[in-house]
Amino acid sequence: MNREERVRAVVDGKVADRVPVSVWYHFSKYDQDPVSLADAEAEFVDHYDFDFIKMMPFGNYGIQDFGAKLNIYCQTGKPVTLAEPGIHTIEDYKNLPVISGLQGTYGKQVEFARLLKQKVSPHTPIIQTIFSPLTTLHKLTGGKVLTDLKEHPEEVHHALSVITEVTNDFIRYNIEAGVDGFFFATQDAKKELLDLETFRKFGEKYDLQVMNSYVEKTWFNVVHIHGLDVYYKEIFFNYPAAVLNWHDRNTEPSLKKARRMTDTPFLAGIRAATKLVDGKEVRDDIVKDGTPDEIIAHIHEAIDEVDGKGLMIGPGCVVAQDCSEENLKAVRKAVEY
């Protein structure tokens, strides 16, 4: 099987010649330029012989055109960070403009998709990363939306509607550019941030509007629910996803438990997350910190949990940018099982 045939087999519930695999990290040295980023990602997937590309535009690409100010470093290991939110007052929610998904920073990511499709080896699926409207608004406000939605729900709903419209416009241009699907990430579907009823009103409602704009038009669509203690039974497993991705090695449910709950294929199996230790965020990343033998054993555990069925191997979140070549090759070697 070639890469696309292998991935399609899993998506379609069929048996592949082996478990597909890929990993991804931030290409922060290159991600401000679509040409350099496309070159870097095309080279990466071929160098390690992974099966698909989860595209890696920088994580704040969706807020810059709305007025957020960013710290941009263009250095390996230093991803873009928020310098100043784009929304400061309640009036700013009401005045958030509908912008084009083909211009500015959004447009650069469309160009990235177009170039990557040209540069990548034949039969290599590519999926564009998009964020849920609430995740985008969370970033745009520096987190303030989580309190504003309680006191000013009408204004927050207006901003979410605008972001949804812009996201769907961006999606349309990515489909025209040739992506095979989307990696839809929500970072707010967790109990520590919002109760379930509130998430349904401000998260799920808009998530479904975005997903329904592409699920019938593309074939390789992943939903990623970010974080620990997430609404997997209530929300995650009910989304219209071809493939599900979460921090399966760090939080519930395990692969075995999840398989009892849904037949949807999984993209999972590699421990990669951030956890709190003594109040500080610490990376928990086996591809960065493990040995090749530990990585191979770790991946074999995941494959065995579901008997290798309905599974693609991938991380629960980005892996570190400074993972060794030896360890990345071990990830690929592990699926020859």
Q: How confident is the model at residue 279 (pLDDT cuts 50, 70, 90)?
A: low
pLDDT digits (tens, 9 = 90+) for 173-209: 999 999 999 999 999 999 999 999 999 999 999 999 9
Confidence (pLDDT) at 60 = 98
Positive or negative torsion for Cα 33, 180, 216, 136: negative
Q: Quote the mean pLDDT of the chain.
A: 97
Q: How far apart are CA 134 and CA 199, in angstroms?
A: 9
pLDDT at residue number 273: 87
**Residue 66 clears pLDDT 90, i.e. is over it:** yes
Q: What is the mean pLDDT of residues 77-83?
A: 96
Report residue 1's pLDDT band, with 50, 70 and 90 as the boundaries.
very high
The whole-number average pLDDT for the span 96-111 is 98
- Lowest mean pLDDT, pick from 129-133, 141-145, 270-274: 270-274
Cα 286 to the center of its chain, rounded Å: 19
pLDDT at position 278, please? 72
Give the per-residue pLDDT at 215. Answer: 98
Residue 250 confidence (pLDDT): 93
Distances (CA, A) of 40 to 24, 33, 49, 125, 145: 12, 11, 14, 16, 35
**Cα separations in angstroms, 1 against 20, 221, 269:** 11, 20, 22
- At 44-55, the pLDDT tens digits run 999 999 999 999
Residue 22: pLDDT band with limits 50, 70, 90? very high
pLDDT of residue 46: 98
Domains and CATH numbers, the chain: 18-265 (3.20.20.210)
Q: pTM score, two decimals? A: 0.97
Quickly state the pLDDT bin for 276 (edges 50, 70, 90): low
| The predicted structure's pLDDT at residue 233 | 94
Rounded Cα distance, 327 and 289, in Å: 9
Reported as a single tens digit per residue, the pLDDT across 312-322 is 999 999 999 99
pLDDT digits (tens, 9 = 90+) for 222-269: 999 999 999 999 999 999 999 999 999 999 999 999 999 999 999 999
| pLDDT tens per residue across span 118-133 | 999 999 999 999 999 9
Quickly state the pLDDT bin for 94 (edges 50, 70, 90). Answer: very high
pLDDT, tens digit (0-9, with 9 covering 90-100), for 145-170: 999 999 999 999 999 999 999 999 99
Round to whole Å and give the CA distance between 50 and 291: 19
